Amino acid sequence: MSNQSDDADKTCTNRPEHVAPTGQQPPMMQPQQTARQEYQQVPPAQASAQPQPYPQFPQPAAPAAPYPNSAYPVQIQVPPYPYQPYQYQAVPPQSYQPYPYPPQAAPPYQQAPPYPYPPQPMPQAQQPAWIPRRFLTYAQQVRRAVGREARLVLFYCVVMTAVALVAQMTIATVMILQGTPESEVFSDAFSNRISGAVSLIALVGCAIYLALMRSQDPLWRGLPHELRLELTGSGERAHRKMTPVVFLLAIMLILGASDVYTFILEPALDWLSGLFDLQPSTAMDSIDASMGTLAMVLYAGFFGPIMEELLFRGLVMPALAKYGKVFSIVTSAVLFGFFHTDLLQGTYAILVGLVLGYIAAEYGLVWSIALHITNNFVFSDLFSRLLTVMPENAQNIVGYGLYIAVGVGSLLYLVLRFRDIRGYMKANRSPQGTVAACWNSPWFLVFLGLSLLFAFVTGFTAV
């Protein structure tokens, strides 16, 4: 039995592993027991007592053909592809013949004549395209800023005088051509009659001058809109809202300055002129003589104050504000006083300029214009006309009573608010050396000197 198994093993070793031994079928070819053959019906009594085997599911049937052996693949004989070699077409050889270029003779070489090189100057060092800006000291900046504003006011006066002179000569020439006698044309009465119209024409020339010289100034950008905002206290230049009490106090201080003019400056000028046997002549005399015309009322009461406020509180004062608020108020007031080229009116204008400068700095330019118009039109014109229709005794009582009331009220107000005024000056004072630099400005000194000279020349006449 063992010999047969050994022989079978030897025989199997020479065969593939997937091929069954001789005389035996592969496992899948052997008959399988089905579930019907294995299952035997058990009586019900025994089925409950003995465990039952699991049911056997039917196995797949054996294939009809023997199991293919994958170890020996089937080789398929494929007939060879009928290959036909590609027949190239023979290209006949071509003979190369060079292009027959015509013979050309080379031109004879001509040597260029020597170039006469003129002598050149030595190269000079060029200036740099950007020259570094020279830094100015604080005093130099103040002198330059003050001189710039003083020069603006000086040429404003020159333009006003020149335009007024040309307008007056033109009107006189037209009147003479119309047959008016020369004695009447060159009389003081005729000059007073046309002075209002001449002043308005000169004011137009000054407006054109300011528009050309300061066309880029922030004052002109949205001026009407800014003035409307200042009425409600929401402007960019001023942040305080005007109240009726403040407006009345400002009017009282301006009228109080007129007391200084009437009771101090005018008697002092009369005494000084009497020492030299001279008679004073002020600008107020010529203005009072010409106030009967509508043109002079419009000039002195409306358009003149507007232009002066635009110049001094609209252009000059904001340009100096960066050196101190108090400094800008005082400097613009000094320029405003000397602008009038009159000893009495100039001193009075400096005091009024201090009040108007404070109002413009704190409440807005529109309120300084309103105060200036109120002083010139209401109190200097309308109130004076009202006094003239009263009896002489009533004129003295009302006039002097008003002067005393506003004078005492202004003095009491300044005394009671002295600490507040002093605190305001300390809070808005300028750095040290600002005032000294201002009074060292050449243009500032030139303007003051010319104004004083003009005031002395035109302010006194021989007795």
More confident residue, 295 or 135: 295
More confident residue, 274 or 319: 319
More confident residue, 119 or 245: 245
* Nearest CA among 200, 211, 212, 209 for reference residue 167: 200
Residue 127 confidence (pLDDT) above 90 = no
How confident is the prediction for the chain on average, in pLDDT?
A: 81
The residue-averaged pLDDT of 108-131 equals: 71
**Could you tell me if 459 and 277 are in contact, meaning their C-beta atoms sit under 8 angstroms apart?**
no
The residue-averaged pLDDT of 377-382 equals: 86
Per-residue pLDDT at 270: 84
More confident residue, 460 or 335: 335
Out of 61-70, 79-88, 168-177, the most confident range is 168-177
Q: What is the dihedral of CA 300, 305, 311, 315, to 10 degrees?
A: 180
Out of 167-181, 236-250, 260-274, 434-448, the most confident range is 434-448
Per-residue pLDDT at 395: 85
More confident residue, 288 or 162: 162
Letter for the amino acid at 123? P
The residue-averaged pLDDT of 405-425 equals: 95
Among 145-159, 167-181, 323-337, which is the least confidently predicted range?
167-181
Per-residue pLDDT at 8: 46
More confident residue, 378 or 44: 378
Per-residue pLDDT at 236: 73
Give the C-alpha distances (Å, rounded to integers) separating 299 from 23, 198, 308, 311, 312. 148, 10, 11, 16, 17
Read out DSSP for 301-369? IIIHHHHHHIIIIIIIHHHHGGG-HHHHHHHHHHHHHHHT--HHHHHHHHHHHHHHHHHHHHT-HHHHH
Per-residue pLDDT at 152: 96
Beta strand extents in 346-454 (DSSP E only): none
Per-residue pLDDT at 307: 96
Per-residue pLDDT at 48: 47
Distance in angstroms (rounded) separating the CA atoms of residues 197 and 296:
7
Distance in angstroms (rounded) separating the CA atoms of residues 205 and 215:
15
H-helix or E-strand spanning residue 402: helix 392-416
Distance in angstroms (rounded) separating the CA atoms of residues 378 and 372:
10
Distance in angstroms (rounded) separating the CA atoms of residues 71 and 317:
115
The residue-averaged pLDDT of 220-224 equals: 77
Distance in angstroms (rounded) separating the CA atoms of residues 146 and 194:
36
Question: So where are the chain's domains?
Answer: 138-462
Per-residue pLDDT at 229: 80
CB contact burial 87-108 (16+ within 10 A = b; e otherwise): eeeeeeeeeeeeeeeeeeeeee
The residue-averaged pLDDT of 82-100 equals: 68
**How would residue 219 be classed by pLDDT, with cut points 50, 70 and 90?**
confident
Residue 444 confidence (pLDDT) above 90 = yes
More confident residue, 310 or 19: 310
Per-residue pLDDT at 463: 62
CA 108 to mean position of chain CA atoms: 76
Q: What percent of the chain has pLDDT over 90?
A: 42
Give the C-alpha distances (Å, rounded to integers) separating 51 from 34, 45, 58, 298. 20, 12, 22, 136
Per-residue pLDDT at 353: 96
Per-residue pLDDT at 160: 96
Distance in angstroms (rounded) separating the CA atoms of residues 75 and 81:
18
The residue-averaged pLDDT of 186-201 equals: 88
Residue with tokens 């307008």: 167
Token pair in block for residue 83? 């290959």
Token pair in block for residue 206? 């000054």
Per-residue pLDDT at 278: 79
More confident residue, 399 or 319: 319
Residue 38 confidence (pLDDT) above 60 = no
The residue-averaged pLDDT of 281-291 equals: 67
More confident residue, 271 or 306: 306
**How would residue 118 be classed by pLDDT, with cut points 50, 70 and 90?**
confident
**How would residue 144 be classed by pLDDT, with cut points 50, 70 and 90?**
very high
**Count of CB atoms within 10 A of residue 244's CB?**
7
The residue-averaged pLDDT of 294-298 equals: 90
Per-residue pLDDT at 169: 93
Residue 224 confidence (pLDDT) above 50 = yes
